[in-house]
């Protein structure tokens, strides 16, 4: 089993329950851990034998552009899209963080982490 990590991907998004979040938006950070077998790719050195992490990034970017009320919903959509498109994916963990959330006090971020496997 091999692990590919896409770390600290930043996106502007309109996720949240409050009207202001849906209009003004916020900064989000996404971390992705993809587990796959890349034995063939390590021998052939061919992209079609590997899990394409550029494709994974594009799937995350697309889901982050679609507004949701809950981070849990965003995370689940990301995992569903990854498993629908990446045949070599065996297990994935996504962490979605809202930076500077409107909580009424100083806070760096609030995060959710979801894991799914084939």
Active site residues: 98
16 φ, ψ to 5°?
155, 165
- CA distances in angstroms from 24 to 18, 57, 70, 90, 118, listed in the order given: 10, 24, 16, 37, 37
Calpha distance 20→4 (Å, rounded): 35
Residue 44 CB coordination number (10 Å): 11
């Amino acid at each position: 089993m091999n692990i590919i990590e896409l770390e600290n991907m930043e996106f502007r998004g309109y996720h949240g329950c409050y009207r202001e979040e849906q209009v003004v938006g916020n900064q989000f950070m996404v971390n992705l851990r993809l587990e796959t077998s890349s034995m063939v790719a390590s021998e052939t050195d061919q992209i079609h034998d590997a899990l394409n992490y550029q494709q994974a990034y594009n799937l995350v970017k697309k889901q982050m552009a679609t507004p949701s009320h809950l981070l849990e919903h965003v995370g689940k959509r990301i995992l569903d899209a990854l498993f629908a498109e990446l045949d070599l994916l065996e297990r994935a963990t996504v962490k979605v963080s809202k930076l500077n959330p409107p909580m009424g006090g100083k806070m760096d971020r609030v995060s959710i982490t979801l894991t799914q496997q084939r």
